[in-house]
Amino acid sequence: MTEKKRVGAPPGPRPHRWVTGPDPELRKQYYAWHRAKSQAHYREEEWLFTFEQYQAVWGLKWSQRGRGRDDLQMVRRDFLAAWEPSNVKIVARPEFTAKQLEIREYYKHTPRKTPRKVTVKKRETQ
């Protein structure tokens, strides 16, 4: 199969083709939602958020979202329940870290339903 080339079209972004339209901020939110949904699927967690619900939960706090010390994160109130609007809250990074420690402690004593595959990289011999 040969790859089609865009003849006569300038290289670069094509906002008219974006799912969210030409608004770059809306596009960032859409891809953040999509990434979060994919991560939940990878971890075999139930995800019940629509894009509109995700936007509503973040609301005006969206600009404070991130990985920095004073940034905000979204966490589940009950980490065994699904990701849904009624089960999440927006918290500061230190509270997020405390929740992560609680989750790790839980799984230390409770095996996962389906164990994750452990991949071991083989060292190349010279």
Each residue's pLDDT tens digit, 52-101 = 999 999 999 999 998 888 899 999 988 888 999 999 999 998 888 888 88
Q: Is residue 36 part of a domain?
A: yes
66: left (phi over 0), alpha (psi -120 to 50) or beta: left
30 phi and psi, to 5 degrees?
-60, -45
Domain total in the chain: 1
Q: Is residue 17 part of a domain?
A: no
Q: Is residue 47 part of a domain?
A: yes
Q: Is residue 15 part of a domain?
A: no
What are the pLDDT digits (tens) for 13-42?
Answer: 666 666 676 777 888 899 999 999 999 998
Q: Is residue 122 part of a domain?
A: no
User: 69: domain range?
Assistant: 22-109
pTM exceeding 0.85: no
